[in-house]
Structure formats: C-alpha cells, structure tokens
Amino acid sequence: MSFFANVEQVPGDPILGLTEAYNADPRPTKVNLGVGIYYDEDGRIPLLRAVHLIEQQLAAEAKPRGYLPIDGLPAYTQATQKLVFGEGSELIAAGRVATSQTIGGSGALRVGADLLHKLLPHATVAISNPSWENHRAVFGAAGFDIVDYTYFDNASHGLDFAGMVADLQKLQPGTVVLLHACCHNPTGADLSTEQWKQVAALLKDRQLFPFIDMAYQGFDKGIEQDGQAVRIIAEAGIDSFIVANSYSKSFSLYGERVGALSVVGPDATSTKAVQSQVKRIIRTIYSSPSTHGAALVAGVLGSAELRGMWGAELTEMRERIHALRAGMVQKLAALGAPEFGFIQQQAGMFSYSGLSKAQVDRLRDEYGIYAVGTGRICVAALSQKNLDYVAKAVYEVSR
Ligand code: PMP
C-alpha cells in the first residue's frame, strides 16, 4: 500500500501560471500586466532607499537572532498600530487594540479567520464580488461558509454602491464582512468617505462584524487618507473589529512577509483576552514570526529621517501609478477610444479594464501582453516605455 499513490492533483495558481507563460515568451516587446507587484520605470521591484539604509545599519550592528515573542517585535507592532489607527488614536490609548506581527498580510488574514471561526463558530463571511481570489480560499480553509456581496458595476467600471448596500442589509446579524480598506483588488473601485460612513453605520445597525484588509495603504492618496475606513468604522461606535495589514507593497518587502493582525475589542480586558486567543493560534501554527523584515519596518518607522525618506518614496510610487493611469487614458483617447476614462478613476495597482477573456487572449497571442482572464491589469507594471505599445494593443483588441 502506498499512501501518496492516488493523490488528486489540484490546479495551480492561475496568476503565477501567467508569469510562467510570460517568462517563456521570447518576444522582446512582451509585457506582464498579470502580476500583483509594483515595478519601477525600469521594470524592477524597487529596493527602497530607506529600507536599504536601515538594512546596512542592522548588518553593522550584527545582532544575535533570538526568538521573537509569539506576537512579534514590539517596536514593529507599536509602529503598525500608529500607522493603521492613526497617531492620536483613542482606541490605542484605551488599550483596545492588540496587534500581532504576522507572516505577510496573508498570514494576518488566516490567523484572523481562525480566530473568528473559533470565537464565532456559526458566522458566515461575506466577501465582495469580485475579490482577491485568496480571500475565499483562506476563509474557506478556516472553515467558513462564504457568501458574496455585490461590489462592481460592469457598466460604469466603478463601485455598485447601491448593490453593495442592498446586499449588506440582507446579511444575518453576526456575519463577518470582509472589506478592502483601499485600492480594491482586483477592480480598483473604492468607496468615498461618505460611502464609508454609510457602510459603517449599516454594519453597526445590522450588527455585522467588520474585517478590514488593508494591503495597499499609501498606494492611492496617502497613509492617512487610505486608512480612513479603519477610523470611520471606529468612529461609528463599532466596538469589535479586525484589521489585517501588509507592508509587502508599501515597503516593497514582498519576500520578507511583513504583515500584522490588529484586533479591536470593547475594552482593554476583553482585548487582552482576544489577544491571548490570537497568540494561542499563532503558537500552534508557526510559534513566532521572523525577525528581519519586522526589524526593517520598525527601524524605518522609528527614525524620523528614514520615515521621511520612506514617505517620499511611497509618494513617488503612488504618483507614478497616477501618471500611468493618466497616460493610458490619454493615449487611448488619442487613438479614438475615449471610453477608457474610468481607468483614471480607479485606485491602486489594479484596474478592471473591462476587456473580455477573448480580448485578453488576443493581447497575449498577438502582442505578448499578459493580463488576468478577468481583464484585471496591473497598472504598476506599465512604464512610460511600454505605454504606447500597450495602449495601441488595447485599442486594437477592443475595436
Ligand atoms: N490582501 C489583498 C487584497 C492583497 O492583494 C494581498 C496581496 N496580493 C494580500 C492581502 C496579501 O498580502 P501579502 O503579500 O503581504 O501576504
């Protein structure tokens, strides 16, 4: 008898498969818009100057590598709280936030999902339609039943707010609602301040549990503005919620796996109890997180000089994305396709371009331009060098 002889092969990640196909493509003009990574003008993942400097400093200090506490490096989790909840947050002052360093934003989602499944075993989770594919997988793996809520309007290429509100209103009290704080992946359609206030009031009124995923803070309007969902939900008087955040994009530290899970409770005592549950979950999965990436982020955020430098670099990344969006819209309009103006309204790295599967296939076959079958393109993988080529190709396949 062989234990592994009849194991079913499950399909691989479609987006990673796209990169494999791109790598194998010999055409020099090829462009990979399928990824979820910010590339600079030269098509490279940037190593931020602030990160490089702190890394050199840490290397010179040559510190030993003991274990971190289960919930991570205190300087990292404290700096994270300030970034996510705001410097003067009353929640932090009241001891109502407990933050754990996690293995990327993905780790925060999974630990948070495991926590909620333990504390609210009968809850379902509501996820936007569409959403980052891994949301469904992570919450499903944690044992949740999953429902969709309306999010995107294919006709306007923007948020279907009325549809979203109508669906949220139908949810059972106690349902966990997964919300993208900003730069919605995959659509690029975000809520306005006013819309967040309405959603926060609805969540409170209907006794729904907010689980905020913030993977792109600083990639649209800036740290403060992009974090508004967290503050609005707190201000609505919702006493318990969760935030998962990631530094993969904002620090360009993808492979260091730097994320955090923050739980908010009604008072300091309950928050401590919830955090004890979080720590038990972490302990039984990977015991404690790793040191290096957290030390980099804590080092940058803890130094006024490096923090200023990082802020400027983040601004540079976000402004480059805005310029690429504007350039794409302008070039398409000049070619005779003004209907793509919505690309400039969308936020963050991604755009739901409205291209069909057949059009995406043509982009790949005829032009060596790789996009996700849903029409999602990564704007941050464009550059001023390939913009003309991509705009022309999009124009041709959309005629
Ligand atoms: N949430 C969303 C919406 C994301 O797009 C991503 C990254 N693609 C994550 C979470 C996970 O981030 P990380 O890479 O830090 O695990």
Q: Is this structure's pTM higher than 0.95?
A: yes
Q: Which residue CA neighbors atom 12 of ligand 1 most closely?
A: 105
Please provide the distance, in angstroms rounded to a whole number, between the alpha carbons at the two ends of the chain: 58
Interval between CA 245 and ligand 1 midpoint (Å)? 8
For residue 208, give the amino acid letter.
Answer: L
Q: Which residue CA neighbors atom 1 of ligand 1 most closely?
A: 215
Q: What letter does residue 219 receive in the DSSP assignment?
A: S
Predicted-complex ipTM score: 0.99
Give the pLDDT score at 386.
96
Interval between CA 36 and ligand 1 midpoint (Å)? 9
Beta-carbon count within 10 A of 294 CB:
28
pLDDT tens for the chain, 399 residues long, are 899 999 999 988 878 889 999 999 999 999 999 999 999 999 999 999 999 999 999 999 999 999 999 999 999 999 999 999 999 999 999 999 999 999 999 999 999 999 999 999 999 999 999 999 999 999 999 999 999 999 999 999 999 999 999 999 999 999 999 999 999 999 999 999 999 999 999 999 999 999 999 999 999 999 999 999 999 999 999 999 999 999 999 999 999 999 999 999 999 999 999 999 999 999 999 999 999 999 999 999 999 999 999 999 999 999 999 999 999 999 999 999 999 999 999 999 999 999 999 999 999 999 999 999 999 999 999 999 999 999 999 999 998
DSSP helix/strand/coil, 124: coil
Q: Which is it for strands 369-370 and 258-264: parallel, antiparallel or unpaired?
A: unpaired
- Nearest-atom index, ligand 1, CA of 259: 15
Residue to mutate, 101, 128, 134, 257, ligand 1, most ligand atoms under 8 Å from C-beta: 134
Dist. CA 398–CA 338, nearest whole Å: 12
Residue to mutate, 246, 251, 252, ligand 1, most ligand atoms under 8 Å from C-beta: 246
For residue 347, give the amino acid letter.
Answer: A
Please list the helix, strand and coil fractions of the chain in percent, rounded to the nearest 5, in that order: 50, 15, 35
